[in-house]
């Protein structure tokens, strides 16, 4: 009885969780980038939307990490290099947020969200060119490591601020700085990096009281079965069709939040 009442009272969030799940299943991207702005548009405070979505990302990507690891698609040394920048970036950002715990920094969070949505959209638009760029790279191991850590700091900071960027931006970094990686290794390594980053960032937000567990359960109920369905539909709806659509949507949302339109 309780389960039935819970589902009825959370139908709207289950529905949007399912909608995002289908898109993620088809394209492989768009989870956090779509979920957070949708939650904010539905009236969820920015802090709660971001904190809850970070746990949502960690849970939904967790099974993907296990699958890719079993298939040997994860390059753990590359994951460690990127995490050596992103995890400290997340920690530093959390420490700063904690200092302003009693200050309304909603505008900072939503503008960070807008910036990351625009960057994610641009990455999706120019994704075919990133592989060409990576082929031209001839970086020394030292330069490669420095760039990876520096970009990791940026990703960790903005993922903690906005819950967006661990997927698309992480993929872009791996594609450009590690051209030796096969496509399946880029995907596997990116997911393996995103899981601990989003979990740690989610724990930080939880300590600040920014996680709504009933909302999280609703999103998972809707998304997990639809991710599976989306993966099956991906053979009928090619990602080359969905990626431009998704990029355009994210670009529009990113501009809206960057300009402060529709903030809560």
Q: Does 263 fall in a domain?
A: no
Q: Does 39 fall in a domain?
A: yes
Mean pLDDT of the chain: 84
What's the token pair of residue 223?
């998304």
Q: What per-residue confidence (pLDDT) applies to 133?
A: 63
Q: What per-residue confidence (pLDDT) applies to 158?
A: 92
Q: What per-residue confidence (pLDDT) applies to 29?
A: 67
Contacts of 27 (CB under 8 A, 6+ apart): 234, 239, 242, 243, 246
Q: What per-residue confidence (pLDDT) applies to 202?
A: 95
With both helix axes pointing from N to C terminus, report the angle between 183-207 and 76-99 in degrees, rounded to the nearest 10.
20
Q: What per-residue confidence (pLDDT) applies to 204?
A: 95
pLDDT, one tens digit per residue, over 137-146 is 677 888 899 9
* Residue 188 contacts residue 68 (beta carbons within 8 Å): yes
Q: What per-residue confidence (pLDDT) applies to 264?
A: 43
Q: Does 114 fall in a domain?
A: yes
Low-confidence stretches of the chain (pLDDT beneath 50):
262-264
Q: Does 264 fall in a domain?
A: no
Q: Does 173 fall in a domain?
A: yes
Domain coverage including residue 109: 2-258
Q: Does 18 fall in a domain?
A: yes
pTM for the whole structure: 0.85
Q: What per-residue confidence (pLDDT) applies to 203?
A: 96
How many domains are contained in the chain? 1
């Amino acid at each position: 009885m309780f389960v039935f009442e819970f589902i009825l009272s959370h139908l709207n969030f289950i529905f949007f969780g399912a909608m995002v799940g289908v898109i993620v299943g088809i394209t492989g991207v768009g989870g956090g980038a779509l979920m957070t702005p949708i939650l904010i548009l539905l009236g969820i405070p920015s802090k709660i939307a971001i904190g809850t979505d970070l746990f949502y990302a960690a849970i939904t990507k967790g099974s993907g990490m296990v699958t890719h690891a079993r298939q040997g698609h994860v390059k753990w040394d590359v994951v460690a290099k990127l995490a050596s920048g992103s995890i400290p970036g997340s920690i530093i950002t959390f420490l700063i947020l904690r200092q302003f715990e009693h200050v309304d920094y909603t505008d900072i969070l939503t503008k960070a969200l807008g910036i990351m949505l625009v960057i994610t959209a641009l990455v999706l638009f120019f994704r075919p060119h990133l592989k060409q760029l990576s082929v031209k790279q001839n970086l020394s191991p030292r330069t490669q490591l420095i760039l990876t850590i520096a970009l990791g700091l940026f990703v960790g900071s903005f993922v903690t601020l906005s819950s967006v960027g661990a997927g698309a931006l992480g993929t872009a970094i791996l594609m450009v700085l590690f051209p030796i990686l096969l496509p399946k290794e880029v995907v596997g390594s990116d997911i393996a990096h995103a899981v601990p980053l989003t979990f740690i960032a989610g724990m930080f937000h939880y300590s600040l009281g920014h996680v709504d567990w009933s909302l999280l359960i609703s999103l998972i109920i809707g998304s997990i079965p639809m991710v599976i369905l989306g993966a099956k539909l991906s053979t009928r709806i090619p990602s080359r069709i969905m990626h431009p659509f998704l990029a355009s949507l994210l670009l529009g949302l990113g501009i809206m939040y960057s300009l402060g339109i529709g903030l809560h």
